[in-house]
Structure 1
Amino acid sequence: MSRYIKLMDESSDEKQQLREDILLGLSQTDKQIQSKYYYDEVGSELFNQITRHPDYYLTGCELEILNQYKEDISTRLGEDAFNLIDLGPGEGIKTGLLIEQFISDYRAFTYVPIDISRKFLDHVIHRVNAQFAGIETIALNSDYLVGMDWLMRNSGKRNVVLFLGSSIGNFDLESTTDFLSTLRTFLRPGDFVLIGFDLRKDVDILMRAYNDSDGLTREFNLNLLKRINHDLHGHFNVDAFHHFGTYNVHTGAMESYLLSLEEQTVEIDDLNTAFTFRKFEPIHVETSYKYLHSQVEKLAADARFKILKNYSDRRGYFINSLWQAD
């Protein structure tokens, strides 16, 4: 049985939010486009291709971890009924590995995917229902924390929160602490969180992952400009921008930019605004932090969680860290 609950403010039209964010981002001295706008239909398909590319190690590492340790994870969660909360479920493949194990272990749970995109929710619900008939599902169309607040007020079950992939790395370090601390306020003592952390490693490995040999990441980033052209009637010449991915040795983060290859002015009709770009001026589009084990430990402690287990792939590239709320 599936329920769909829309918690998005009806006045917060997605296209209006896009207008506001693009206007703000491109009006700043250091121009930026938020990475959440990657995932239109084209961008989502490109990202799926990236995750299957041999240069992009992250997905394979996490699938290896979940396949190897799903039984141990299930055992540690105990036998009481719980909400399986999936923050940004994506395609649902990784979550499916855990659901399969929980069913095998006769765990009683309600699957609760949370995403701001109705399209993504529809996709994952269809996939889960097709693969696991009869699962109780409550799909929350909302911001993560708004969804967590609703669930806390409407369910008395224990909670198991999944934040898979390397999504946590897209926050800056201060925002990561704030997010995890706020998440903790919506959990009860004894609730669980399973978070994916991409670890620091050889810079060449990182550079290949974010500058893959087939140019998929390049197309993925440039698609942001194509989306603005399509959704906001922009006039970006995509060929006049270059994808540049680099590693910041000071912050431990991969950073992605679009560089203007010439001095140019770009009009966006829906914003009734023209934006000027200097030659080689960057637009920041993504930051992906890579972590040390000590940083993961500090994040957990600062947000009032204890680490039960860090599950690692065989190469030590990635961990899924199982936390419990104090």
Structure 2
Amino acid sequence: MNQFLQDVLKGLQSSPKYLQSKYFYDKKGDELFQKIMQCEEYYLTNCEMEIFSTQTAALADIIIDQHNSFDVVELGPGDAVKSLYLLKELAGKNAIDTYFPVDISNNIIDLLQKKLPEQLPKLNIHGLNGEYLSMLTSAKKISDKIKLVLFLGSNIGNIPKEEVNEFCRQIRSQLSIGDMVLIGIDLKKNPKQIRLAYDDSNGYTREFNLNLLRRINRELGGNFVIEDFEHYATYDPITGACRSFLVSLKDQQVTIGNHASFNFLKNETVFMEISQKYSIEQTDEIASQSGFEPVAHFFDKNKWFTDVIWKCV
């Protein structure tokens, strides 16, 4: 039984039901997420793009001030459109030994290994397809150089708040003293603005969530009727948690191949994803409690988003 199937069965057998957001990213999911990032409501991309496009030299200077040569490991790079600014700056200073893009989507790895040599012909690229932590271990085995780990796009927000310290500790456990991480973190702001970012007027976020049901149908023999589910997003400004759900529109039964059947009640929800928001103080606390020292914070002009540089201590 493959891992995707195991995780789907486990999630749908739970109460309340859930599906893991890491499985959003098949080829169609990758395409939909690119559209989400271009939506006016999805401010996160523009905020981080502003940081990387206007403060590239300052980012590079702080990183190089720590070490003048290192590998770059990027967890969940997407199309690398933001990190490309930094990669070009660092490559121009002969600071990168190898770039390791890490993604659960092999489609993304293939794309980057074809695309990046056209833009950075001298960059040594070694794509790693798999889970973040295990692939970070692989990168360390392949090269013993100092590491700069990129974790951009507020991907850290997809980890529940109560688990984020442990996740960062696990990242730290795979690194050495002096290694660095550069993490993109979405900050708390007007609650309405945050919620709209996860329920865009074009419906791309809705289709992004529903696409996971289509993937289950296609790859695991499911018989989800897509029209019988709808997307719902909510944001709690106190905890900073933005959550996405699928809602069953009627009483129904869904079968996953010949493995199991699941009953859904009308209005029953399936938890899909969390997008956690933080204050600046909370980001520093996560660093210090996870074995890192905060080195620098970079902000967009509105201070809606931050990219933080932490050093392993």
| TM-score class normalised by the smaller sequence | over 0.9
Shift of 1:277: 0.6
State percent identity of aligned pairs.
Answer: 37
2: CA distance, partners of 1:214 / 1:56: 11
- Where structure 2 has 5 or more consecutive residues not aligned to the other structure, the ranges are none
Q: Report the equivalent of 1:58.
A: 44
Shift of 1:186: 2.0
The answer to whether the aligner puts 1:20 opposite 2:13 as a matched pair is no
Identify which of 231, 234, 251 aligns with 2:222.
234
Identify which of 277, 280, 285 aligns with 2:272.
285
Relative to the length of structure 2, the TM-score reads 0.95
Shift of 1:142: 2.8
The answer to whether the 8 A contact 2:216-2:222 is kept is yes
2: CA distance, partners of 1:314 / 1:270: 53
Q: Secondary structure at the match of 1:23?
A: helix
Q: 1:270 to 1:320 in 2, by over 3 A?
A: farther
1: CA distance, partners of 2:217 / 2:141: 41
Identify which of 293, 302, 305 aligns with 2:292.
305
The answer to whether the 8 A contact 1:265-1:277 is kept is yes
Q: Report the equivalent of 1:165.
A: 153
The answer to whether the aligner puts 1:36 opposite 2:29 as a matched pair is no
2: CA distance, partners of 1:277 / 1:290: 31
The answer to whether the aligner puts 1:215 opposite 2:221 as a matched pair is no
Identify which of 71, 76, 83 aligns with 1:95.
83
Q: Report the equivalent of 2:59.
A: 73
Q: Secondary structure at the match of 2:127?
A: strand
Q: Secondary structure at the match of 1:101?
A: helix
Q: 1:269 to 1:151 in 2, by over 3 A?
A: closer
Query: How large is the RMSD of aligned CA atoms in angstroms?
Result: 1.4
Q: Secondary structure at the match of 1:160?
A: strand
Identify which of 286, 301, 307 aligns with 1:314.
301
1: CA distance, partners of 2:61 / 2:166: 30
Shift of 1:270: 4.4
Alignment of 1:86-235 (within 5 A): 86-235=74-223
Please list every run of at least 4 consecutive aligned residues from structure 1 whose deviation after the TM superposition is greater than 3 angstroms: none
Q: Report the equivalent of 1:253.
A: 241
The answer to whether the 8 A contact 1:232-1:270 is kept is no
Residue identity opposite 2:153 in structure 1:
G
Q: Secondary structure at the match of 2:137?
A: helix
1: CA distance, partners of 2:256 / 2:174: 40
2: CA distance, partners of 1:221 / 1:108: 36
Q: Secondary structure at the match of 2:176?
A: coil
The answer to which of 277-286 and 185-194 deviates more is 185-194
Residue identity opposite 2:270 in structure 1:
I
Shift of 1:250: 4.1
Q: Secondary structure at the match of 1:298?
A: helix
The answer to whether the 8 A contact 1:234-1:270 is kept is no
Shift of 1:133: 0.6
| Matched residues, number | 311
Relative to the length of structure 1, the TM-score reads 0.92
Residue identity opposite 1:289 in structure 2:
Q
1: CA distance, partners of 2:246 / 2:157: 20
The answer to whether the 8 A contact 1:192-1:324 is kept is yes
Q: Report the equivalent of 2:253.
A: 265
Q: 1:234 to 1:154 in 2, by over 3 A?
A: closer
The answer to whether the 8 A contact 2:91-2:123 is kept is no
Q: Secondary structure at the match of 2:18?
A: coil
